[in-house]
Amino acid sequence: MAASQCQEERSVSGYGIDKKAEFSSNISSDNSSHRHHNVDEAGGRHNDLLAERPSQGGNLSAFFNIVCVVAGTGTLGLPFSLAKGGWIGVGILVLSMFMSTYTGILIIRCIYYNGHTRLASYQEIEIRGLTRAYVDISDKIWIWICCGVVSIPFVLMKTFKEVSLLSIFGVIATAVLVGVTMVESGIDYKNHKDTVKYDVAILRNLPVAVATISVCFGGNVVYMHVEESMRYPHAWKKVLIWAMVLCCFMYSMVAIPAYLTYGPDAASPILSSLPEGRPAKKVATIMIVAHVLLAAPVMMTSFALEVERVLNITVERRGRYKERLYRTVVRLAVMGVVGGIACSVPYFDSLLSLLGALGNCMLVYVLPIWFYWRLIGWRQMRWYELIWCAVVLIIALLSCVIGSIDAIKSLHRDFTQGR
């Protein structure tokens, strides 16, 4: 009995769940160091929740999945955020990276909270934590064409292990976009350097800048599935940190040169500020479209896995052929609903801004902390960690409120004045 209890402590100590253990995320090149957790002191073998998963993908696949999900179209809006708030926005960007990395670590700790089982999704964490004017026809055609393109990998690739290939190409597309935008902004600097003026901080716009920048690292909803697809789950913390550092670096490589060149006139998206007629601008446009098409299956796979789990669409329950049939039907239906919403909902971008402000801040920053306190306990944290949690919650709630107000104003303006 004592050996069993000791093993349970070791099996989850990598996520800092027991009182005495610290969070450990070292990636060992020796696979035996991962298998060591499966053997207790008496030589018996127990189920280790964090043991090596030979059938799953490597750390690099998880890294690309995270970067592909997090670093997206928000890249093009960051120069506008600096134009609104001034150079202090760079500091807010780095702070947001630390906040999102921390809550991403907490949310994975929560899925191992009891040391016996692994929660499968954000939904299960929520259950445990809470109980304890319209688009033109041409636009509609393009929407359905994009839905058809996205449906192919979405249906054929079942889990995050398979979609990691799309993530690699999505990250490459984002990197090309970042490089093109940075170079074009630098070339155009000589045409603006004598007229542009900068601000260290624009206090009246600072809340809006905080709200905009803080949602650039949203990815917590898919982290459970990414971690599930990892061969070495002990490496989650290190993989997440490096992925967030890369995202922050790419954001900075767009935001800083663009703000240096265009100052308060930086537009959102920043492609609107780049000189017309240059091939590089067309390349950047193609890259952002490519990223969206490549990242969409990654994001939607997370949602589809949740639906399939609720409906018990598994090989064990349905059989190999029925599982594939039901999964295809469900995913095509999901894609149809997505396309229908995009075609029928007026001012969809403004509505998404509202949903993002309300949902993203809560999912990325607030709920992971709340769930950790409910499932594991705030007493397991040191005093400085509790202070950090308070800072994260204050910034997140401020961003949620201010971002929602700004999005509601945009929606009201769209409905009353049109576009």
CATH number at residue 383: 1.20.1740
pLDDT score, position 129: 65
Instruction: Looking at the structure, tell me whether residues 128 and 8 fall in a common domain.
Output: no
Query: Is 52 strand, coil or helix?
Result: coil
In a domain, 131, yes or no: yes
Instruction: Looking at the structure, tell me whether residues 70 and 9 fall in a common domain.
Output: no
Instruction: Looking at the structure, tell me whether residues 1 and 80 fall in a common domain.
Output: no
In a domain, 399, yes or no: yes
pLDDT score, position 287: 85
The burial of 273, by beta-carbon neighbours within 10 Å (0-12 exposed, 13-18 middle, 19 or more buried), is given as buried
Q: Of 207, 16, 2, which is closest to residue 102 (Cα–Cα)?
A: 16
In a domain, 300, yes or no: yes
Per-residue pLDDT of the chain (419 residues; tens, 9 = 90+): 444 444 444 344 444 444 333 333 343 333 444 434 443 433 333 347 777 777 777 888 888 888 887 886 567 778 888 887 888 888 888 988 898 899 889 888 888 887 777 887 666 776 676 665 444 456 678 788 888 888 888 888 887 777 777 888 888 888 888 888 888 888 888 888 888 888 888 877 776 777 677 777 877 777 888 888 888 888 899 999 999 999 899 999 988 998 899 888 888 778 888 888 788 888 888 888 888 888 888 878 878 888 888 888 888 888 888 888 998 999 999 988 888 888 887 776 667 667 767 777 788 888 899 989 988 888 889 999 999 999 999 888 887 887 788 778 877 887 787 65
pLDDT score, position 1: 41
Instruction: Looking at the structure, tell me whether residues 46 and 88 fall in a common domain.
Output: no
Domain that holds residue 44: 1-27+40-50
How far apart, in Å, are the Cα atoms of 319 and each of 27, 314, 315, 348? Answer: 36, 7, 5, 39
What are the φ and ψ backbone dihedral angles of 9, each rounded to 5 degrees?
A: -65, -45
pLDDT score, position 23: 36
In a domain, 33, yes or no: no
Q: Of 353, 298, 89, which is closest to residue 214 (Cα–Cα)?
A: 89
Instruction: Looking at the structure, tell me whether residues 292 and 365 fall in a common domain.
Output: yes
pLDDT score, position 329: 92
Under 8 Å between Cβ of 27 and 235: yes
Instruction: Looking at the structure, tell me whether residues 18 and 81 fall in a common domain.
Output: no
Instruction: Looking at the structure, tell me whether residues 19 and 104 fall in a common domain.
Output: no
In a domain, 35, yes or no: no
DSSP string, 93-125: HHHHHHHHHHHHHHHHHHTTTTSS----SHHHH
In a domain, 324, yes or no: yes
Instruction: Looking at the structure, tell me whether residues 294 and 360 fall in a common domain.
Output: yes
Two structure tokens written together for 102: 């921390």
pLDDT score, position 415: 79
Under 8 Å between Cβ of 364 and 220: yes
Instruction: Report CA 417 to chain centroid distance, whole Å.
Output: 34
Instruction: Looking at the structure, tell me whether residues 11 and 79 fall in a common domain.
Output: no
Instruction: Looking at the structure, tell me whether residues 217 and 248 fall in a common domain.
Output: yes
pLDDT score, position 241: 92
In a domain, 359, yes or no: yes
Instruction: Looking at the structure, tell me whether residues 61 and 164 fall in a common domain.
Output: yes
In a domain, 166, yes or no: yes
Instruction: Looking at the structure, tell me whether residues 44 and 162 fall in a common domain.
Output: no
Report the domain count for the chain: 2
Two structure tokens written together for 371: 């769930």
- Stated pTM of the model: 0.72
